[in-house]
């Protein structure tokens, strides 16, 4: 399983997803601090999937649920693809990444951190200001991993 950054232009999300030649999860980069958090979530999703503890009907959705740390597919899809230009983190097998390039996916650095992104991520994972005051903003990726682990244990 590989995690890559990139850009893809989408006219119609359902149409794009129906054309995917392989299993791939697209995560909006606006909700990702670093690729390591996505890798962590994807590994947890894979383990749950292999053990028959899945929530979703397909693996891509399972990964999205883990990244968002929620059982609600409707909530998890909010961090997925949208119409227009998408800066994304993709989780897929290496040969799948090459196939996605035929659909317009371009590998490109898209992960950036700013104050707005940190606030958006804190809201997504329900991380309070007090938690950040206690551990420091540099520990935010660890707090997100904690939410993913709690999700895994509670589902």
Residues spanned by the domain of 136: 2-154
Query: In this structure, are residues 67 and 38 in contact, taking their beta carbons and an 8 Å threshold?
Result: yes
pLDDT of residue 73: 94
The mean of the pLDDT values for the chain is 96
Which pTM does this prediction carry? 0.94
- Measure the CA–CA gap between 107 and 6, rounded to whole angstroms: 4
Distance CA 38, CA 27 (A): 9
Domain with residue 35: its CATH number is: 3.30.2380.10
SS3 3: strand
How large is the average pLDDT for residues 27-48?
A: 97
Q: Which of 37, 22, 45 is nearest to 124 (CA)?
A: 37
Encode 24-79 in three state secondary structure.
EEEEEHHHCCCHHHHHHHHHHHHHHHHCCCCCCCCHHHHHHHHHHCCCCHHHHHHH
What does the pLDDT read at residue 155?
76
Q: Is the pLDDT of residue 117 over 80?
A: yes
Give pLDDT, residue 17: 94
Q: Cβ contacts of residue 27 below 8 Å, gap of 6+?
A: 38, 64, 67, 79, 80, 88, 89, 90, 91
Give per-residue pLDDT as tens, 142-152. Answer: 999 999 999 99
Give the total number of structural domains in the chain.
1
Q: How far apart (Å, rounded) are the C-alpha atoms in residues 94 and 109? A: 17
Q: Would you state the structure tokens that stand for residue 89, as one six-digit string?
A: 């983190």
The conformation of residue 128, written as its DSSP 8-state character, comes to -
């Amino acid at each position: 399983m590989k995690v890559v950054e990139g850009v893809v232009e989408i006219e119609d999300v359902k149409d794009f997803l129906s054309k995917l030649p392989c299993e791939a999860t697209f995560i909006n980069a606006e909700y990702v601090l670093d690729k390591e958090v996505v890798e962590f979530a994807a590994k947890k999703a894979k383990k749950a999937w292999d053990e028959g503890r899945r929530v979703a009907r397909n693996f891509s959705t399972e990964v999205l649920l883990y990244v968002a740390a929620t059982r609600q597919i409707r909530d998890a899809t909010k961090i997925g693809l949208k119409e227009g230009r998408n800066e994304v983190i993709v989780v897929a097998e290496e040969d799948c990444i090459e196939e996605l390039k035929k659909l317009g996916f371009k590998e490109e650095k898209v992960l950036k951190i700013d104050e707005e992104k940190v606030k958006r991520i804190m809201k997504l994972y329900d991380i309070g200001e007090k938690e950040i005051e206690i551990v420091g903003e540099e520990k935010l990726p660890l707090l997100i991993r904690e939410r993913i682990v709690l999700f895994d244990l509670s589902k």
